[in-house]
Each structure stands twice: as structure tokens, then as C-alpha cells.
Amino acid sequence: MLFRNKKLVYAATAGFLLIVAFVLPSSLSRKGKGAVRGVVAPAERGTAGLGRRLSEAVAAIRGMGGAVEKNRDLSHELVRVQARLNQLRDAEADNVRLRRAFKFHHQSPHSMIPCDVISRNISGWWNTVRIGKGSADGIQENHAVISSDGLVGKTIEVSKQTSEVLLVCDPAFRVSARIDRANVFGLVRGGGVNLKGHPVAQMDFIDKDTEVRVGDEVVTSGLSGEGGVSPKGVHIGYVEKVHRDASGLFQSAEIAPSATISLLDYVFVVSAGATEEAP
């Protein structure tokens, strides 16, 4: 009888949903999210692996198509060999990429945890990626995530098996930074993605009397709050434009972050205790 009163059912549902949306404690919310992510993580890993294999196959087919156009009169055997060669080239490129990451991992003085990217953000509202390691592998929140190209972002919402990485370009991202040439400090915050699809960031609170040039390198300062870990001297990007703050007290600089990330990438999470200066 109670369920026949539709208005009451709708009101109760709306009340419940609003309570969940606004009143649910964050610890409870995170536990719920951790459970959902734990269930979905194996499927995400499988799909990401499938995506990698698919992209390799597409690359091989593209190469084969080109070979067919160029060598229309050649025999099938030659095409097969060409395709095989393309596959080997892909494997070689992959090998070079992994060696680069491995070398970077061993050259860096920081203690780092290698991770693979397993999925993107589901809604598009946040500039995040999910990596396939979590608290069970020693990852904690607010730790810097870097690749051989520079700073990628920081860990946020770590569950047992996976971690969300807030990318440098997300408007919620903040990191203390330094312009390497001028040795002047500031705060880098994400600026989203522009209409061309390129990530953007901005460095604020730069001393107004210091000369900042287009092309100056921006690196992390090593200062971090909220119990986070951010190593010193990690490359963030280059200055693209400089302008005066609205108050006239500071300068701001638009930055193009160097480390862009895709589902095919491997990243490193800087683990606790890593505060040495990068070479």
C-alpha cells in the first residue's frame, strides 16, 4: 500500500539520494568507491591490454596497407614479410620506450613505483587517469606521478588495487614550482584543456620584478603540502606567455605541460621518503 503512493516513493527516493550526495561522510563514500573500483579493475586491466594489442595490430595493418600500395605486383610472401617487419618495428619502438622508462627509473634518485595506466575518467568532468596499483602496492595519496617527460600529476583517491591520478592540467591541481633560469618561485595550477585538445596550466604568484621569458623551463620546487611527496627539480613544462596579475603585484605565466598521457603509457609514483634533488 505504501509503495502505491507514488509521490511518497519519489519524495523518499529524492531524500535518500540527496542525503547520499551531500551528507554521506567522505570516508564512507571512499569505501564504496573502492569497492566499485576493485570489482571493475580486472575488467579495466583486461580492456586496456586488449586496447594495446589492438593498437599494435592496427599499426601492423596500416604498414601492410602501405606496402601493398607501393608493391602491388609483389607476391603475398613479400607482403607477409613486410607485415612481419612492421610488427617487429612496433616491438622495437615499444622496446625503446620501455628501455627509456627503465633507464629513467634507474637513473632517478627517487624511490619510484612503476605503474601502467588502465583507464581514463568516466565522465570527462575531471582530467584524471586510473593506474593499476593502489595502497596494497604502497601508494599513498598526494604523491607525485612522473614519467620520463616530466610531471604527470599526483595521486588522489587511492583504493586497494587502483589509484586515481589528477593530471597537471586539471583545474583542481596545484603544485609549488620554480622557473629554473630565473630561480623564482610560484604556484602552478591546471587550466583544463583548450579547444584544440592541448592541456594548459598556469603559474601564478611570480615575483613582478623578475624577468620571465617565453621558453623558460618550469620545474617543481620540492615544497609540498597535505603530507604529500613532490620531488625537487622535476620538469613541468615551458613558459608560453607572460602577463601581469590583475592586482599588479605578481606576474602569471601560461605553461604548456610537457608530459601528456595516454592509455598506452607507463608512469612512476614517487614513494614516501623521496625528497632528494633530481639530477
Q: Closer CB to other proteins, residue 105 or residue 160?
A: 160
Residues that bind other proteins (CB under 8 A): 10, 13-14, 17-18, 20-22, 24, 26, 29, 32-33, 35-37, 40, 43-44, 47-48, 51, 119-126, 128, 156-157, 164, 166, 171-172, 192-197, 263
CB of residue 195 to other proteins, shortest distance in Å: 5
Closest CA to 149 of 167, 161, 132, 135: 167
Q: Are 258 and 235 in contact (CB under 8 A)?
A: yes
Q: Closer CB to other proteins, residue 33 or residue 181?
A: 33
d(CA 264, CA 95): 13
Q: Closer CB to other proteins, residue 194 or residue 210?
A: 194
Closest CA to 149 of 235, 91, 221, 31: 235
CB of residue 193 to other proteins, shortest distance in Å: 6
CB of residue 179 to other proteins, shortest distance in Å: 25
Q: Closer CB to other proteins, residue 26 or residue 75?
A: 26
Q: Are 213 and 179 in contact (CB under 8 A)?
A: no
CB of residue 168 to other proteins, shortest distance in Å: 15
Closest CA to 225 of 276, 173, 267: 173
CB of residue 39 to other proteins, shortest distance in Å: 9
